Structure 1
Amino acid sequence: MKELPVDKGTRVTLHFALKFDSGEVIDGNFDKDAATLEIGDESLPENFEAYLMGMKAGDKASYEVPPENGFGQRNPNNLQTFKRHEFSADMVLEAGVMISFADARQHELPGVISRVEGDEVEVDFNHPLSGRTLIFDVEIVDVEPAGQTH
């Protein structure tokens, strides 16, 4: 059964690393236990799952992921400017600080302060990895039919 390729309806056990093209590791588990996920369960973004399709147990690969296949391009409309008084007085407002907002549906929306100038606070709601080319290293440990219990 080791020949089963990764596809919808499979459970995959893998090691992975997500890196900047500089080699700096953003996330990964090569130094930990392998992760198990079901294709389509949204553990991995669909664009990243696409790279795994057809791989089999024992396969290793390294993919260069352009922004459009990763976390998207940066969108200038996702930069919002607020007035200083719109934040609580004791809040630290400086570039790089992450703030959590609630959107219209009360879902959490993280933003990072990109600029503070006078009474203006600019917040960037782009995904922190947007606009970046990433390296996705993966090693498939096992592929099984989904729903199979050990």
Structure 2
Amino acid sequence: MSDQIREITPREITHSGEVTLHFAIALCDGTVITTTFEGEPVTLTLGSGDLTENLEKTLYGLKPGEKQSLILEADNAFGPRDEAKAYFMPRSSFPPEMELEPELVISFATPAGDELAGIVQELDEAQVKVDFNHPLAGHDIVFTVEIISVNHP
């Protein structure tokens, strides 16, 4: 055994690797959108799209055991709201038995086979306005994290 003592420091979060953490996203008025603090932490692979790039960047440099709570303006969270992402679609594009109402979230298949969520904004007998913005687009948020562990490949 060596007489040298080596200090082991916790790994800090960088642009790659896995992070196990608790997190919460809330509106600035205190409305909690999602949280893991009352349950199990989640493990995310940075750079995989589990979090938006802007949310990932807020984690860089944090180490296991650290907590952080930040207010992110809309442009730095889920982006600004874009009216061009809200479309009127013919009512006939939806199954006749589908009960459409404002705030209903509908899953649409893209030509590439991915799923895209849209939120019904308004409707009448002829058309339905569907918003494809992220539900938090245009909102400032509070992003709170507690880092449990960091693993790099």
Instruction: Give the TM-score category using the shorter length.
Output: 0.7 to 0.9
Match of 2:118 among 102, 105, 111: 111
Q: Is 1:48 aligned to residue 55 of structure 2?
A: yes
**Match in the other structure for 1:73:** 80
Report the count of equivalent residues: 146
Alignment correspondent of 1:21: 28
How far does residue 118 in structure 1 lie from its aligned partner after superposition?
4.1
Displacement of 1:54 in angstroms is 0.8
Q: Distance in 2 between matches of 1:41 and 1:93?
A: 33
SS in 2 for 1:52: coil
Is the alpha carbon distance of 1:13 and 1:86 closer, same or farther for their aligned partners in structure 2, counting shifts above 3 Å? closer
Task: Give the Cα separation in 2 of the matches to 1:66 and 1:43.
Answer: 20
SS, match of residue 97 in structure 2:
coil
Which of these residues, 44, 50, 53, is aligned with residue 37 of structure 1? 44
Alignment of 1:135-146 (within 5 A): 135-144=142-151, 146=152
Structure 1 pair 108/141, CA: closer, same or farther in 2 (3 Å)? Answer: closer
One-letter identity of the residue aligned with 2:127: E
- Where 1:136 maps in the other structure, the secondary structure is strand
Q: Structure 2 vs 1, CA of residues 41 and 89 (structure 1 numbering), >3 Å: closer, same or farther? A: closer
Gaps of 5+ in 1: none
User: Which whole-Å CA distance do the structure 1 matches of 2:16 and 2:113 have between them?
Assistant: 33
Percent of matched pairs sharing the same residue = 36
TM-score (norm. length: structure 1):
0.86
Q: Residue 87 of structure 1 aligns to which amino acid in structure 2?
A: F
Superposition CA RMSD, Å: 1.8
Q: Match for 1:129 among 114, 118, 136?
A: 136
Q: What is residue 19 of structure 2 aligned with on the other side?
A: 12
Q: 1:142 to 1:103 in 2, by over 3 A?
A: closer
Cα 1:118/1:127, change in 2 over 3 Å: same
CA distance in 2, matches of 1:106, 1:36: 26
3-state SS of the aligned residue for 2:24? strand
Equivalent residue number for residue 99 of structure 1: 106
Letter in structure 1 aligned against 2:19: V
Contact persistence 2:109–2:116 (CA under 8 A): yes
Q: Deviations over 1:93-126 (max 9, x none)?
A: 2111122222232322221110013422111111
